[in-house]
Amino acid sequence: MIGKLNHVALAVPDLAAAAALYRDTLGASVSEPLDQPAHGVTVVFVTLPNTKIELVHPLGDSSPLAGFLAKNPAGGIHHICYEVEDILAARDRLKASGARVLGDGEPKIGAHGKPVLFLHPKDFLGTLVELEQA
C-alpha cells in the first residue's frame, strides 16, 4: 500500500539555525519558511535527489509539536511520510486493521497541496507516520 518516501521531518527549536545548517554546512537546497496554520507548524523543505527533509517548528499556541519539543528540547526525528495512491482507501484499510488515525480521521491539505493523514506512533514502532496522497 505505501509507496515512495516523501519526506522525513525533523522537529527543530530554531528554524533559521536548522535551515542554515542544511544550506551552509551540508550544502543542500533549502526553501524559504512557509507557515502552515492549519497544521500548527512552520516548515522549511530541504530538497535531496531522492527525497525531502522537512524542518518543522511550532506555529501558534496549540502546535502538535509542542509536546515533542518539550520532551526533546534539542529537536529530533518527528515523523516519516509515505505516499499512497488512494488516501481514503489507505485510511479505511488501516482503521480496519486497528491502527489509530489521528485527528478527526479526515485528510487535511498538507504542505505540498495534497491530502495528508497521520497515524499514531504507538501503532507504528514508535514512529509517527504521515500518509500523503501521491
Active centre residues (catalytic): 130
Contact track, ligand LP2KCY5N, 18-47, x by CB under 6 A: ------------------x--x-x-x----
- Residues in a beta bridge with 132: 83, 116
Which residues, 30 to 69, sit near Co ion by CB under 5 A?
A: 54
The tally of CA atoms less than 13 A away on the side-chain side of residue 100 is 10
Residue 94 binds ligand LP2KCY5N, judged by CB under 6 A: no
Report residue 51 as a C-alpha cell: 527525497
* 95 touches 105 (CB < 8 A): yes
Q: Which is nearer to ligand LP2KCY5N, 24 or 35 (CB)?
A: 35
- What is the spatial distance between Cα 40 and Cα 118, in angstroms, rounded to a whole number? 14
- What is the spatial distance between Cα 40 and Cα 73, in angstroms, rounded to a whole number? 18
Give the interface with ligand LP2KCY5N as residue ranges (CB under 6 A): 9, 36, 39, 41, 43, 54, 56, 64-65, 67-68, 71, 78-79, 81, 102, 110-111, 116, 118, 121-122, 126-128, 130
